[in-house]
Amino acid sequence: MAIILITGATAGFGKACAEKFAQNGNDLIITGRRQERLNDLQTTLEKQYGIKVLPLAFDVRDQKTVSTVLGGIPENWKKVSVLVNNAGLAAGLSSIEEGDLNDWEEMIDTNVKGLLYVSRAVIPWLIDQRKGHIINLGSIAGSQVYAKGNVYCASKAAVAALSKGMRIDLLPYGIKVTDVQPGAAETEFSLVRFKGNEDKAKGVYQGLKPLSAEDVADVIYYCATLPPHVCINELEITPLQQASAYYYHRV
Q: Which residues bind ligand NDP (CB under 6 A)?
A: 8-14, 32-34, 59-61, 86-89, 110-111, 114, 137, 139, 182, 184-185, 187-189, 192
Half-sphere exposure (Cβ direction) of 191: Cα atoms closer than 13 Å: 7
For residue 84, count CB atoms less than 10 angstroms from its CB and return exposed for 0-12, middle for 13-18, buried for 19 or more: buried
Asked if residue 136 binds ligand 8X3 (CB under 6 A), the reply is: no
* Interacting residues of 191 by C-beta distance below 8 A, sequence separation 6+: 197, 198, 201
> What is the pattern of x (binds ligand 8X3, CB under 6 A) and - over residues 167-186?
----------------xx--
User: Considering only residues 70, 80, 141, 170, which one is a binding residue for ligand 8X3 as defined by CB under 6 A?
Assistant: 141
Asked if residue 211 binds ligand 8X3 (CB under 6 A), the reply is: no
Among ligand 8X3, ligand NDP, none, the one that 188 touches (CB under a kind-dependent 5 to 8 A) is ligand NDP
Phi, psi of 27 (to 5 degrees): -80, 155
Amino acid in the structure at residue 152: Y
Asked if residue 110 binds ligand 8X3 (CB under 6 A), the reply is: no
The residue of the chain with the least Cβ separation from ligand 8X3 equals: 139
Among ligand 8X3, ligand NDP, none, the one that 26 touches (CB under a kind-dependent 5 to 8 A) is none
Angle at 186 between CA 165 and CA 138, to 5 degrees: 5
Pick 131 or 202: Cβ nearer ligand NDP: 202
Angle at 64 between CA 61 and CA 66, to 5 degrees: 60
Phi-psi sector, 146: left (phi>0), alpha (psi -120 to 50), beta: beta
Asked if residue 140 binds ligand 8X3 (CB under 6 A), the reply is: yes
Catalytic residue list contains 49: no
Phi, psi of 167 (to 5 degrees): -60, -40
Subset of 226-245 contacting ligand 8X3 (CB under 6 A): 245
Residues 182, 237 contacting (CB under 8 angstroms): yes
Q: How far is the CB of 236 from ligand NDP (least distance, A)?
A: 10
Q: How far is the CB of 65 from ligand 8X3 (least distance, A)?
A: 26
Q: Which residues pair with 122 in a beta bridge?
A: none
Q: Which residues bind ligand 8X3 (CB under 6 A)?
A: 139-141, 149, 183-184, 245
Residues annotated catalytic, as ranges: 152
